[in-house]
Amino acid sequence: MKRIDASCDLQFFVCVNERAAHEPLPSCGTERGNEFFKFMQKAVFRWGAERGLRVWVNRSLCQGFCSKDGITLSVYPLQLRFQAVSIENIPEILSAIEASMQRTH
């Protein structure tokens, strides 16, 4: 085992979980989850670089907040969660994150 001493300021988890069509809960995955991940990754890297932040954007499986209306997104260490998000919500999400960071400093 080797310990990794890399870290980041913020870590984003985008749900891309895929369920079978017959399952009762909706699925963040398939095309919409992966498309959102790509847009979110570009936006977050640009946003983080402008603020001197080290950010990681990761795909995740189910986070337990499934919605037929969009993706689930979590941001650590801020403990922020967003449900039913779409690409159009990215600017609003980044504004909410920035406001939360200002409150914690």
Residue 2 lies in a domain: no
- Structurally, the chain folds into a number of domains equal to 1
Residue 41 domain boundaries: 15-104
What is the percentage of the chain residues whose pLDDT exceeds 90? 66
Residue 87, in any domain of the structure: yes
Q: Do the domain assignments include residue 6?
A: no
Report the CATH number at residue 74.
3.40.30
- Confidence at residue 31, expressed as pLDDT on a 0 to 100 scale: 63
Q: What's the confidence (pLDDT) of residue 87? A: 94
Question: HEC states along the chain?
Answer: CCCCCCCCCEEEEEECCCCCCCCCCCCCCHHHHHHHHHHHHHHHHHHHHHCCCCEEEEEECCCCCCCCCCEEEEEECCCEEEEEECHHHHHHHHHHHHHHHHHHC
In a domain, 93, yes or no: yes
User: Does 47 reside within a domain?
Assistant: yes
Its pTM stands at 0.89
pLDDT digits (tens, 9 = 90+) for 3-48: 988 889 999 999 998 888 888 887 877 667 888 999 999 999 999 9
- Indicate whether 29 belongs to any domain: yes
